[in-house]
Amino acid sequence: MNWPSVGVVIPTRDRPALLRRAVQAVLSQEYAGPLRVIVVYDGTPPDTTLARDGCRPVLVARNTRTPGLAGARNTGILALDTDLVAFCDDDDVWLPGKLAAQVTALLEHDAELVTCAIEVQFEDRLTPRLAGTDTIRLPHLLRSRMVMLHSSTFVIRRPLLTSEDTGIGLVAEDAPGSQNEDWDLLLRAAKRRPITHVDQPLVRVLWGRTSLFAHRYDTKIESLTWMLKRHPEIGRCRHGAARVYGQLACWHAAKGDRWNAAKWAGRALRTRWREPRAAIALAAATGMINVESVLTALHRRGHGI
């Protein structure tokens, strides 16, 4: 079997120990085809000691595009010449068999983009997050973000990323704070054709204080508003719209903006009266609970707001 070449883009910023762990997990994959890694430093000087030659080279680069995660990913995509591109965040770990399973699925289904399930690591607890299906369609992603379709699971045909006219296009660099750029990419891909999914937890995703976005509530709010404008279909999906409105309510409550928390919570409840995030936001706005405490409890179960 002629296995396609794979280039793995790992954006990084100020996490050297986690980065080395991520790189090693990629290089340790039992994959019969050509494999290379490009580490893209965003806003920090590149560590050239990571670079290596050989049958599985590691390239080190600096983000030459828009500062942030999206620009770093695109820098890596455009620097590669491989058949496929895969993403891995610098604080995540590919588990054994991940790449071979996904490339096999891609070839068998002639897919454009393949994802896999994850296991969430929060403190000392691991929680698998499965999709319950091997095919992801647009309605799935409008109804739910489907957190198990993490960017560190993406394997995509590279020509589709580099072509704006006939393909999916690059990662959206105008995404505020480079947040929700992965959901945006999934939606764009699903509008073309179904996404193939390997429903096994083959990536370990680290949640907690290592996240660069943990307390950036304004950015969370701005990125969700950007998504609603960019993909108006979300607003036409009752469950999906209520979920996003509830998230907006929670992030406004977390930053102490009671008026907007109540406004978005009301909108969520009018859209779907059983939306739980609206209740969380209203309770937080009145001081009964703390959004961060709720988020920590949810993280322990492998879930988020």
Position 1 in a domain: no
Number of structural domains in the chain: 2
> Are both 140 and 276 inside the same structural domain?
no
Supply the pLDDT for residue 164: 76
Q: Judge if 200 and 223 occupy the same domain.
A: no
pLDDT (tens digit per residue) in 197-208: 999 999 999 987
Which structural domain, as residue segments, surrounds residue 253?
217-300
DSSP labels, the chain: --PPPEEEEEEESS-HHHHHHHHHHHHT---SS-EEEEEEESSS---GGG-B-SSS-EEEEE--SSSSHHHHHHHHHHH---SEEEE--TT-EEPTTHHHHHHHHHHHHT-SEEEEEEEEEETTEEEEE--S-SEE-HHHHHH---TTS-GGG-EEEHHHHH-TTTS--S--TTSGGG-SHHHHHHHHHHHHSPEEEEEEEEEEEEESTT-TTTT-HHHHHHHHHHHHHH-TTGGGSHHHHHHHHHHHHHHHHHTT-HHHHHHHHHHHHHH-TT-HHHHHHHHHHTTSS-HHHHHHHHHHTT---
42 and 165 fall within a common domain: yes
Same-domain check for residues 121 and 45: yes
Could you tell me the mean pLDDT of each successive run of 10 residues in the chain, 305 residues long?
Answer: 94 96 98 97 95 95 96 98 97 97 97 98 93 98 96 97 88 96 97 97 85 74 98 97 97 95 97 95 91 89 86
Instruction: Look up the CATH number of the domain holding residue 52.
Output: 3.90.550.10
Q: Same domain for 179 and 222?
A: no
Q: Is residue 212 part of a domain?
A: no
Same domain? For 98 and 161 the reply is: yes
Same domain, 126 and 244: no
